[in-house]
Amino acid sequence: HVQLVESGGGSVQAGGSLRLSCTVSGYTSASYCMGWFRQAPGKEREGVAALYSSGGISYYADSVKGRFTISQDNAKNTLYLAMNSLKPEDAAMYYCAARPGWCPVPDGWDGFGYWGQGTQVTVS
């Protein structure tokens, strides 16, 4: 089965940058939709960014568009989320997730059955 492990979280000042990583193992499908989600205390989990591994197409939530960049390094089996110009409202637990097949976004963020343990991002 697919296993995802996030890393790279930490504390950063407002306006700063941080890069999250997600190592992936156990692929059983030829293509995946890889995504980053976040959940802040008292709020619902929201989709942040997604990337279709086969087509190289990326999607972003309006709240992070222009500031965050999702990418992958196939040689290292790693998914990244580069976060720039961080704001206090970006503080949350960030999770990477995988969905076999095509990406449901921009139509929705459903069907991500594989999840990592999360990595904490704090912005001060």
Q: What is the pLDDT of residues 66-111, one digit of tens each?
A: 999 999 988 888 999 999 999 999 999 999 999 988 898 888 899 9
Q: Express each pLDDT in 12-40 by its tens digit.
A: 999 999 999 999 998 777 788 999 999 99
88: helix, strand or coil: helix
- pLDDT averaged over every residue in the chain: 93
CA angle 97, 59, 50 (to 5 degrees): 10
Rounded to whole angstroms, the Cα distance separating 62 from 46 reads 11
Residue 44: predicted pLDDT: 95
- Amino acid 65: pLDDT: 97
| Residue 10 structure tokens | 């930490």
